[in-house]
């Protein structure tokens, strides 16, 4: 498999010279010898701190602290607080309430303290000793000091000193301009200067825009005109003007980008995409120059000699308060957070250890083998499906089933990636109708009519008579949408061709179209998929490849509920492709030569798990003999019913016979603000044979990846699991973490204020930075948090030496684990023992009580 990757974030090669001088301003380090190369490092460092932000068309989770991954977790959080001005822990009052509720037990707190003391005996807090520390934690703390050592832009500093509102204004101005620059079809009149590089284009607009001056930023246009034309020179000029010491450049520049983190993230995602395509995109540096120019103008207008104000020193940290006696608030939060995580681990491990799967002898040949995505939502359905019959087996694997494809629908001008964001899809597939069918042409025409109809809204003058005529039909539409008879975006229902269902992904390579997979590619992908999901023998009668997707209405964040492993899309396309390839006799022939014998009777079939309604739809199921189909559908229906009942309480719905209808309502109601809970609550990752957890209620909080240590002596499969699915799970986990600890900064705020910008993102209210992370309603139910912000606990059943050798080969992964971004435990089921990974040098530590609790 080609899925193993070295770095979670391949950066474009900065040291290579740009070859396209016409469109890319040469930014080559060394091209300006009068500047110290330190500036280039500072710029590159600032850019690296910004996590990419995918559009809402294909929103995939990203670790919001990705830029700090070289640091120990607590240090990264400290840095993120200083630079992004967001809270990265819960307030200590939150944790104390958890202690009162019993969610944290006193033993957890003791253990957290012991761990901290053992990890760093020389630390300040360690001097007092464990018992006083414990007393201090339970008492009221010093409270969160709002800005310990924050790095500030000029705008931040001015606001702090004078009570002005410049920081917000500057963010809004940059956001306003970026929204035009990166508009994907909202404005009928596109922003001019699209042909110019970003900084140049902004300069041209800023020299016309009078808004800053009206707001009181004197001389803004003249200042912009006076800036050097290339972004790097402009950055150097502004830094010189601010007289910021060189040592602070990196942090100041990071803060500049962090103050427009949303759009910077959008640009970062574009930079990454370009890097995947082998191109170099310097747009983020350009954006940095734009943001810095505002600070330069503020400095010129308010702080230069002649102005009487006391001079704040931009880039300098605000003075940290004198350390009080006892642990500081961040230290307290760190310890409490660890105790909070240990509390969950305690219950999880005791359940794993105490669980003795029913001693049923698994049938040599199960009737149904269902492969689900590792997504935590699958756990519930898998459990209920297995409960239906001993003849049902389920497996967990990344929901793209090992088929990293780009998929282009009929009528689309470009395809979309249907694979984890870590990968650039190497294969292109397209939607097609069966040969000779006129369906494709009809669908194409219908979609084109739809596009033209929506285009009518852009008419300008033409809209007046339109409103007076077509407008009235919306009266009826209001009523039917409100009553749930129609869904608003079905505007296309009129234009939906009946032939849509005849279309599907076409896996076969035809002629020189460049679409599809040839036989060797099919065999390669099929083999990789089967080996990595551990399905190389004892095939069942039916192998169901079940992707997942979520139906919600009027929800800009719909794609955040879809399958992240399919690039923020529904998983049906990948499942259909995988099932088609694995069903092909030619592929099976080749697989047999490579030692994977799939019985001729085994049928591969695709399915889609709708996570809002908990239904499973079989796709392309006409290959399934009725005698097999009936029991399979019966089990699935019963499992879905069970899963729905289990989820009802969390959604505030009444469990009962009517539940399916209520969930249908949630999925299709245009006013529903919480269609489902997505991956809220995710807390752990388990890579082990399903037999270890079968029958165990893990409450939909665990990513379950099948892994059989016995059949992977070389560790190839484990290497893949640790470098790809585990990292993706950790990204999801940390996105939920940060959206919970500070939804205003790391999340996307209140959904009722969401205002879709550029058809691909969201701003809040009138104007704001592009929003990152998850909405408030995705982590909070109005009364309490639905997500418990914890780092992922990864439990892997594998020999420790095997894990160590993989970590040795992957320094990034090793760093992630050693720095405590994910808690890795190696599981020895036979000894009922867990070993906590401390570091390649520090080794492992037996998890206390785990071995002797039973």
N- to C-terminal Cα distance for the chain? 40
What is the layout of strands, in order, in the sheet containing 833-839? Answer: 702-706, 684-688, 792-796, 822-828, 833-839, 843-846
Q: How far is the CB of 554 from other proteins (least distance, A)?
A: 4
Please choose, out of 28-36, 302-310, 473-481, 585-593, the segment that lies near other proteins by the rule CB under 8 A.
473-481
**Sequence-distant (≥ 6) Cβ neighbours of residue 462 within 8 angstroms:** 456
Q: Binding to other proteins by residue 38, rule CB under 8 A? A: no
Q: How far is the CB of 12 from other proteins (least distance, A)?
A: 23
Look at residue 321 and give its three-state secondary structure. Answer: coil
Calpha distance 384→380 (Å, rounded): 6
Q: Binding to other proteins by residue 489, rule CB under 8 A? A: yes
Q: How far is the CB of 468 from other proteins (least distance, A)?
A: 5
Q: Tell me the backbone φ, ψ of residue 826, rounded to 5 degrees.
A: -95, 135
Binders in 196-235 for other proteins, by CB under 8 A: 204-205, 208-211, 214-216
Binders in 302-361 for other proteins, by CB under 8 A: none
Q: Tell me the backbone φ, ψ of residue 785, rounded to 5 degrees.
A: -70, 140
764-769 — which CB contacts under 8 Å span 24+ positions?
767/172, 767/175, 767/176, 768/171, 768/172, 768/175, 769/171, 769/172, 769/174, 769/175, 769/260, 769/261, 769/262, 769/263
Site string for other proteins, 747-776 (x = CB under 8 A): ---x-xxxxxxxxx--x-xxx--------x
Q: How far is the CB of 557 from other proteins (least distance, A)?
A: 9
Q: Which of 124, 146, 488, 599 binds other proteins (CB under 8 A)?
A: 488
Binders in 634-693 for other proteins, by CB under 8 A: 669-674
Calpha distance 718→591 (Å, rounded): 22
Q: How far is the CB of 484 from other proteins (least distance, A)?
A: 10
Q: How far is the CB of 143 from other proteins (least distance, A)?
A: 13
Report residue 25 as tokens. Answer: 């301003």
Binders in 778-797 for other proteins, by CB under 8 A: 780-783
Run of H or E including 293: helix 283-302
Calpha distance 51→772 (Å, rounded): 10
Binders in 527-586 for other proteins, by CB under 8 A: 553-556, 558-559
Calpha distance 425→567 (Å, rounded): 10
Q: How far is the CB of 210 from other proteins (least distance, A)?
A: 6
Number of H helices, E strands in the chain: 28, 17
Q: Which of 16, 20, 100, 468 binds other proteins (CB under 8 A)?
A: 468
Asked if 710 and 794 count as a contact pair (C-beta separation under 8 A), the reply is no
CB closer to other proteins out of 55 and 333: 55
Q: Which of 309, 451, 655, 831 binds other proteins (CB under 8 A)?
A: 451
Asked if 676 and 651 count as a contact pair (C-beta separation under 8 A), the reply is yes
CB closer to other proteins out of 97 and 459: 459
Q: How far is the CB of 830 from other proteins (least distance, A)?
A: 47
Q: Which of 10, 30, 455, 811 binds other proteins (CB under 8 A)?
A: 455
CB closer to other proteins out of 88 and 254: 88
Q: How far is the CB of 846 from other proteins (least distance, A)?
A: 41
Q: How far is the CB of 174 from other proteins (least distance, A)?
A: 13
CB closer to other proteins out of 168 and 365: 168
Please choose, out of 34-42, 446-454, 516-524, 691-699, the segment that lies near other proteins by the rule CB under 8 A.
446-454
**Sequence-distant (≥ 6) Cβ neighbours of residue 465 within 8 angstroms:** none
Q: How far is the CB of 423 from other proteins (least distance, A)?
A: 20
Question: What are the angstrom distances between the C-alpha of 621 and each of 211, 353, 672?
Answer: 60, 39, 32
Q: Which of 37, 132, 143, 471 binds other proteins (CB under 8 A)?
A: 471
Please choose, out of 123-131, 140-148, 264-272, 449-457, the segment that lies near other proteins by the rule CB under 8 A.
449-457
- Measured over the CA atoms of residue 162, residue 165, residue 168 and residue 169, the dihedral's sign is negative
Calpha distance 619→616 (Å, rounded): 9
Q: How far is the CB of 279 from other proteins (least distance, A)?
A: 16
CB closer to other proteins out of 48 and 481: 481
Binders in 687-746 for other proteins, by CB under 8 A: 743
Q: How far is the CB of 403 from other proteins (least distance, A)?
A: 20
Q: Which of 492, 528, 799, 848 binds other proteins (CB under 8 A)?
A: 492
Binders in 67-106 for other proteins, by CB under 8 A: none
Run of H or E including 257: helix 249-258
**Around Cβ 411, how many Cβ atoms within 10 Å?**
15
CB closer to other proteins out of 320 and 479: 479
Calpha distance 816→809 (Å, rounded): 13
Q: How far is the CB of 191 from other proteins (least distance, A)?
A: 7
CB closer to other proteins out of 468 and 830: 468
CB closer to other proteins out of 145 and 350: 145
Q: How far is the CB of 694 from other proteins (least distance, A)?
A: 36
Q: How far is the CB of 789 from other proteins (least distance, A)?
A: 14
Binders in 790-849 for other proteins, by CB under 8 A: none
Binders in 162-201 for other proteins, by CB under 8 A: 165, 168, 176, 179-180, 183-193
Please choose, out of 14-22, 408-416, 524-532, 620-628, the segment that lies near other proteins by the rule CB under 8 A.
408-416
Strand partners, 397: 373
Q: How many residues bind other proteins (CB under 8 A)?
A: 105
Q: Binding to other proteins by residue 412, rule CB under 8 A? A: yes
Torsion, Cα 800 805 809 811, to 10 degrees, reads 40
User: If we measure between CA atoms, which residue out of 616, 548, 607, 605 comes closest to residue 582?
Assistant: 605
CB closer to other proteins out of 253 and 503: 503
Q: How far is the CB of 421 from other proteins (least distance, A)?
A: 17
Helix/strand/coil percent split, the chain, to 5: 50, 10, 40
CB closer to other proteins out of 110 and 490: 490
Asked if 548 and 571 count as a contact pair (C-beta separation under 8 A), the reply is yes
Asked if 659 and 647 count as a contact pair (C-beta separation under 8 A), the reply is no
Q: Binding to other proteins by residue 514, rule CB under 8 A? A: no
| Cβ neighbourhood burial of 500 (10 Å; 0-12, 13-18, 19+) | middle
Run of H or E including 814: helix 811-818
Look at residue 604 and give its three-state secondary structure. Answer: strand
Question: What are the angstrom distances between the C-alpha of 634 and each of 394, 426, 569, 630, 733?
Answer: 16, 38, 27, 6, 34
Using DSSP bridges, classify how beta strands 542-549 and 368-373 pair: parallel, antiparallel or unpaired. Answer: parallel
Q: Which of 466, 592, 655, 831 binds other proteins (CB under 8 A)?
A: 466
Q: Which of 56, 198, 596, 636 binds other proteins (CB under 8 A)?
A: 56
Q: Binding to other proteins by residue 409, rule CB under 8 A? A: yes
CB closer to other proteins out of 47 and 764: 764
Report residue 741 as tokens. Answer: 């600890």
Calpha distance 287→274 (Å, rounded): 16
CB closer to other proteins out of 529 and 757: 757
- Measured over the CA atoms of residue 299, residue 302, residue 303 and residue 309, the dihedral's sign is negative
Asked if 726 and 718 count as a contact pair (C-beta separation under 8 A), the reply is no
CB closer to other proteins out of 290 and 807: 290
Site string for other proteins, 367-396 (x = CB under 8 A): ------------------------------
């Amino acid at each position: 498999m080609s899925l193993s990757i070295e770095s979670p974030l391949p950066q474009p090669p900065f040291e290579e010279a740009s070859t396209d001088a016409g469109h890319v301003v040469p930014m080559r380090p060394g091209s300006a010898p009068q500047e110290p190369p330190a500036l280039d490092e500072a710029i590159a460092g600032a850019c690296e701190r910004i996590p990419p932000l995918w559009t809402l068309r294909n929103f995939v989770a990203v670790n919001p602290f990705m830029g700090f991954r070289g640091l120990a977790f607590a240090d990264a959080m400290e840095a993120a607080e200083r630079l992004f001005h967001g809270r990265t822990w819960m307030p200590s009052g939150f944790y104390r309430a958890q202690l009162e509720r019993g969610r944290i037990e006193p033993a957890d707190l003791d253990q957290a303290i012991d761990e901290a003391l053992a990890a760093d005996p020389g630390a300040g807090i360690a001097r007092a000793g464990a018992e006083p520390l414990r007393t201090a934690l339970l008492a009221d703390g010093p409270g969160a000091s709002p800005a310990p050592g924050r790095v500030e832009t000029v705008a931040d500093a001015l606001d702090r000193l004078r009570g002005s509102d410049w920081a917000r204004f500057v963010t809004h101005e940059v956001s306003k301009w970026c929204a035009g620059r990166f508009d994907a079809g909202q404005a009928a009149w596109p922003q001019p200067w699209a042909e110019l590089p970003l900084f140049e284009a902004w300069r041209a607009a800023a020299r016309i825009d009078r808004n800053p001056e009206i707001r009181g930023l004197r001389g803004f246009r003249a200042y912009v005109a006076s800036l050097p034309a290339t972004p790097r020179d402009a950055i150097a000029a502004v830094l010189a003007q601010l007289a910021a010491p060189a040592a602070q450049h990196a942090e100041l520049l990071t803060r500049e980008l962090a103050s427009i983190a949303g759009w910077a993230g959008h640009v970062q995602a574009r930079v990454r995409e370009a890097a995947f395509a082998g191109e170099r995109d310097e747009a983020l540096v350009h954006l940095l120059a734009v943001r810095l120019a505002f600070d330069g103008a503020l400095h010129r207008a308010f702080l230069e000699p002649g102005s009487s104000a006391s001079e704040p020193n931009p880039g300098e940290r605000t003075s940290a308060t004198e350390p009080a006696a006892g642990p500081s608030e961040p230290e307290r939060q760190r310890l409490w957070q660890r105790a909070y995580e240990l509390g969950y681990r305690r219950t999880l491990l005791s359940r794993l250890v105490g669980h003795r799967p029913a001693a049923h002898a698994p049938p040599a040949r199960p009737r149904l083998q269902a492969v689900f995505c590792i997504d935590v939502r699958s756990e519930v359905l898998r459990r209920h499906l297995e409960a239906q019959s001993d003849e049902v087996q389920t497996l967990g694997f990344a929901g793209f089933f090992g088929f990293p494809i780009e998929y282009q629908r009929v009528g689309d001008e470009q395809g979309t990636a249907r694979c984890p964001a870590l990968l650039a899809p190497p294969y292109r597939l397209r939607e097609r109708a069966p040969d000779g069918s006129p369906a494709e042409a009809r669908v194409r025409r219908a979609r084109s009519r739809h596009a033209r109809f929506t285009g009518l809204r852009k008419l300008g003058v033409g809209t007046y008579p339109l409103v007076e005529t077509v407008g009235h039909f919306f009266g009826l539409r209001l009523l039917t949408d409100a009553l749930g008879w129609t869904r608003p975006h079905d505007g296309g229902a009129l234009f939906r061709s009946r032939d849509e269902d005849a279309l599907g992904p076409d896996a076969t390579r035809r002629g020189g179209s460049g679409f599809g997979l040839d036989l060797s590619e099919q065999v390669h992908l099929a083999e990789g998929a089967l080996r990595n999901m551990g399905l190389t023998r004892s095939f069942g009668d039916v192998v169901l490849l079940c992707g997942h997707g979520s139906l919600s209405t009027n929800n800009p964040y719909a794609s955040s509920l879809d399958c992240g492993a399919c690039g923020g899309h529904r998983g049906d396309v990948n499942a259909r492709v995988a099932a088609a390839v694995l069903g092909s006799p030619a592929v099976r022939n080749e697989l047999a030569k490579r030692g994977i014998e799939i019985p001729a009777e085994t049928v591969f079939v695709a399915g889609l798990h709708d996570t809002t309604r908990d239904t499973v739809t079989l796709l392309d199921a006409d290959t399934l003999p009725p005698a097999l189909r009936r029991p399979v559908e019966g089990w699935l229906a019963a499992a879905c019913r069970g899963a729905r009942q289990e989820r009802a309480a969390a959604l505030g719905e009444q469990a009962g016979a009517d539940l399916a209808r209520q969930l249908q309502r949630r999925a299709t109601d245009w006013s529903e603000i919480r269609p489902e809970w997505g991956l809220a609550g995710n807390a752990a990752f388990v890579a082990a044979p399903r037999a270890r957890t079968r029958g165990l209620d893990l409450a939909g909080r665990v990513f379950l990846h099948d892994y059989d240590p016995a059949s992977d002596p070389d560790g190839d499969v484990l290497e893949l699991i640790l470098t790809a699915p585990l990292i993706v799970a950790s990204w999801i986990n940390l996105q939920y973490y940060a959206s919970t600890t500070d939804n205003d900064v790391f999340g996307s705020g209140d959904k009722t204020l969401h205002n879709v910008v550029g058809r691909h993102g969201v701003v809040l209210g009138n104007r704001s930075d592009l929003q990152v992370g998850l909405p408030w309603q995705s982590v909070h139910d109005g009364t309490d948090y639905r997500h418990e912000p914890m780092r992922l606990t990864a439990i892997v059943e594998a020999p420790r030496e095997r894990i160590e050798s993989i970590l040795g080969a992957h320094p990034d992964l090793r760093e992630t684990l050693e720095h405590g971004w994910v808690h890795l435990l190696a599981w020895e089921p036979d000894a009922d023992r867990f070993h906590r990974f401390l570091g390649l040098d520090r080794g492992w530590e037996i998890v206390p009580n785990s071995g002797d609790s039973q």
